A and B are shown apart, each in its own frame.
Chain A
Amino acid sequence: MVFNSYSFALFFVLLLVLHNLPLPWKAKKINLLLASYLFYALWNPPFILLLWLSTVVDFYMARLISREQRSAPRKLLLTVSLLLNLGMLSYFKYGGFLLENFTALLSSVGIAFQAAKPDIILPVGISFYTFVTLSYTLDVYRRKAEPEPSFLNFALFVTFFPHLVAGPIVRPEDLIPQFKVPHRATSQQMTWGLFLLSLGLFMKVVVADTLLADSADTVFGVPFPVQPLDAWVGVMAFSGQIFCDFAGYSTCAIGISLCLGFVLPDNFRYPYAAIGFSDFWRRWHITLSTWLRDYLYIPLGGNRKGNVRTYINLMITMLLGGLWHGASWNFVVWGGLHGIFLCAERLIRDWSGKRQRSFAGTNQSDNVLTGSIAQASIIPVSWNGRVGKFGLALLTLFLVDITWVFFRAPDFGSAMRILLSMFGVIPNGAALLTSLDILKVGTVTVILISCHWFMRHSSLVKLGSRMPWWLLSLIWTGMVILLILTQKSSNSFIYFQF
């Protein structure tokens, strides 16, 4: 079930009614759990078995790990959990990719091998709920958390429908404590939750699907070079589309949870106003970047083992982060480019010797890739003025957009063709996009960058509380009217495929 559907609207209204009935808290939690299973099953019912398997195994493995004091059995139990979770993820997500590359490898050494093409369907959200359950087991193993005694609370933590299929990737401490005591939205929470739901749907349905998707699909869908203007507009369209699509989903998820009385963590903080890549990863898909930091980068040694190891660890983290998005070398290149940019940023900082915290007002506790990486900044002192910072933000966005080419293109050849088109290396490319397409993408891009820039040190909650109520209503009305005008949108969220 997608948030932008009539079926979800009906589901959500019924659930809200049910959740606000005078029932015992346990009954309400059971309702939420059953509703979450229904939410998931309405895509492809058999895949719910995988979700159950993951939930049951991790719940009991964590209990056994917690009881066991000896190191070797603890490691064995953890291995079982990791094998199950990562095994399922590998089979469903990377099975075809691994087989394809294995065949290519054999072929390159002269061995003719043609395996039957596996017909594997990727279960929606498997990457997300696998990371959710893994974080729980790993936290218990590392004795950072106690195992949850209630299976109901744990199952609801894993399955809670707002975050289930596309995040935010929640940690046990984010949600489980909220399930322990009765929660019901206050009228303030309910209203703000509905506002966030409207905003998220507006971002997804109006901006991503209606104003931007067509231009991106056109430019990335043709097998021939295009004019530089078309290439740039296509890339900017995708840049805006993926933000509005994914941040739109997260905003909906946070809003829906709030309507039920639960708080989910933020997943985006105006990433297109980032100054540098460490700043970008503090603002983009925050729950994934913090997950990678805590469960991959730091266990690899982080920045504690010297400069060379730090760079290697950064690259490993970003390459695997890229691969998490999908079974394609393009995602690896995308992650690799981000890793290179992060390393370059750190190199420049070390070279200039100017260690400074880059973002006043930003909560430093949310650093993405540990302390010193997060401190990395490419801002020379002379760039510290407002205009200079804005220029650096645009430079960061320019580089981020370059990486999006690999993220969106169907294959490496197409990505290179778009890149060469962008810089005018291929002459006589085709003109594809109409005046209206360019106008739509240009307008949305300018508005998006402006919003991110002016909001980079703020938040929606702060803005909402400062704004006159009639102005907030005007904005809200505008969004809902455009949503109604756009009507239904059957497009899935891009991140569902990850």
Chain B
Amino acid sequence: MTPLQKASVLTLVCVLTFVVGWELYCRSQHLGLSFNDDESLWAHTRKEIYQSSPSRPVIIGSSRVKFDLDLDTWESVTGEKPVQLALAGTAPRPLLTDLANDENFKGTLIIGVTEGLFFTPDGSFPEREATKRVNFYPKWSLSQQLSFHINRVLEPWLYFLDEERLALRPLLTDLPIPPRPGTWGGPKFPREFSVTKFDRQEIMTDAMVADTAIQNKVKAVWMDIGAHSPKQSLPPFLLTAILNSVKKSVDQIRARGGKVVFVRMPSDGVFREIEKKSHPREQYWDRLLAHTNTPGIYFEDYPALSKYRCPEWSHLAPKDAVTFTQDFIPILQQKTGWPIRIRAAKTPLATASRSVHN
């Protein structure tokens, strides 16, 4: 063997040893299997919008509709699974504009409203990731699609292929380096917070649901985000511009026969109190519905939807998401009059016992 060949053999052995060891370590952390919620997964899901109907709506919004509307439960109730396009931490307006500009989209749209993200000006930080996805979709090359499908085969088997929690970038971010005064590196969620399923359903991990210490870490992240968010309220002209842009998109979709509804998912605790002050319902939510002449479901208006507590003030636990969804669908049907097919009710326990490990 030449020295180069010896080096290659030793490298192969070392790398394989590392991969096995790293995979075992990742599994030992009990973080749950999570799919990378990247541009390709979003684009793959975006392709499904053309078969949408009241029973199979397209969902856009921020993280709350990703956690709180349980897709499997929805499917068990209506027989069809919604198309989940919501993006955590983003404003959904770029997605709404994209769907409105897509002449072939004539379906049903549920828009989750988290006021602090929804009512942000064009080009603001919460819009960037959403805009990136929208711009990526038409450029999703054949090569990227092929890579996505290969990745899709590998991801369920290899826990370490988790870019958001176990790749070099998040590992470096976790290093205990003192912050530079005057700068903010963005929110640092605990790894145990949640996982993403292949259908883009977001669910809290078992550890998150069980451990109040982890829940408190997430609460601290919300406070950290609040501390770094703009303190002043939106100038009236910007709010009007946002409302006008939303109305334009909603009208475009409805003009083609599509259906739209706004939904406000639960939040509670300190977070809810801050939201009430920063985005009073009458100034934002009520104006949104009136300006766009669109129906809306606000969780506090319905005892069946407002009975839930969020472990970290902002999202429902998986078990609650199941019953919340079961309660939500009849309310949606009643509020909008949409022809949603509802199958005979299944026992909630049949699906409520799920966890991130099944």
A480 touches B11 (CB 8 A): yes
Question: Cβ of B5: which chain A residues have Cβ within 8 Å of it?
Answer: 187-188, 191
Instruction: Count contacts on A: residues with CB < 8 A to the other chain.
Output: 48
Question: Cβ of A484: which chain B residues have Cβ within 8 Å of it?
Answer: 15, 18-19, 22, 160
A210 to B168, CA, bound (A): 8
B172 shortest CB reach to chain A, Å = 6
- Cβ of B185 within 8 Å of any chain A Cβ, yes or no, is yes
Counting chain B CB atoms within 10 Å of each CB, the highest count among A44, A476, A482 belongs to A476
A481 touches B15 (CB 8 A): yes
B144 touches A490 (CB 8 A): yes
Question: Cβ of B177: which chain A residues have Cβ within 8 Å of it?
Answer: 434-436, 439
Asked, given contacts A210-B169, A439-B177, A490-B144, whether A434 binds B185 with beta carbons under 8 Å apart, the answer is: yes
Asked, given contacts A5-B144, A191-B8, A488-B163, whether A434 binds B168 with beta carbons under 8 Å apart, the answer is: no
Question: Cβ of B160: which chain A residues have Cβ within 8 Å of it?
Answer: 484
- Cβ of A195 within 8 Å of any chain B Cβ, yes or no, is yes
B161 touches A487 (CB 8 A): yes
A7 touches B150 (CB 8 A): yes
- Cβ of B355 within 8 Å of any chain A Cβ, yes or no, is no
Question: Cβ of A472: which chain B residues have Cβ within 8 Å of it?
Answer: 3-4, 7
- Cβ of A1 within 8 Å of any chain B Cβ, yes or no, is yes
A432 to B186, CA, bound (A): 11
Question: Cβ of B171: which chain A residues have Cβ within 8 Å of it?
Answer: 485
Contact of B14 among A6, A7, A473 (CB under 8 A): A473
Question: Cβ of B339: which chain A residues have Cβ within 8 Å of it?
Answer: none
B50 shortest CB reach to chain A, Å = 23
A7 to B143, CA, bound (A): 6
A432 to B181, CA, bound (A): 10
The number of inter-chain residue pairs (CB within 8 angstroms) is 129
Contact of B142 among A45, A433, A434 (CB under 8 A): A45
A464 to B7, CA, bound (A): 10
A62 to B92, CA, bound (A): 56
- Cβ of A486 within 8 Å of any chain B Cβ, yes or no, is yes
Contact of A10 among B3, B10, B146 (CB under 8 A): B146
Contact of A192 among B4, B179, B183 (CB under 8 A): B4
- Cβ of A342 within 8 Å of any chain B Cβ, yes or no, is no
- Cβ of B175 within 8 Å of any chain A Cβ, yes or no, is yes
157-181 of chain B: CB within 8 A of chain A: 160-161, 163, 167-169, 171-173, 175, 177-181
B151 touches A434 (CB 8 A): no
A438 to B180, CA, bound (A): 9
Question: Cβ of B143: which chain A residues have Cβ within 8 Å of it?
Answer: 1-2, 5, 7-8, 42-43
- Cβ of B2 within 8 Å of any chain A Cβ, yes or no, is yes
210-254 of chain A: CB within 8 A of chain B: 210
Asked, given contacts A6-B151, A473-B14, whether A436 binds B173 with beta carbons under 8 Å apart, the answer is: yes
- Can you give 30 contacting A-B residue pairs, CB < 8 Å? A2-B143, A5-B144, A5-B147, A43-B141, A43-B143, A44-B141, A45-B142, A191-B5, A195-B7, A195-B8, A431-B180, A432-B183, A434-B183, A435-B183, A436-B177, A440-B172, A468-B3, A470-B6, A472-B7, A473-B8, A473-B11, A473-B14, A477-B14, A481-B14, A481-B15, A484-B160, A485-B22, A485-B167, A487-B167, A490-B39
Q: Beyond A436-B185, A490-B144: 10 further Cβ-contacts under 8 Å? A: A5-B143, A5-B144, A7-B146, A42-B142, A187-B2, A191-B8, A192-B4, A431-B183, A434-B185, A490-B40
Chain B residues in the interface with A (C-beta under 8 A): 2-8, 10-11, 14-15, 18-19, 22, 38-40, 141-144, 146-147, 150-151, 154, 160-161, 163, 167-169, 171-173, 175, 177-185
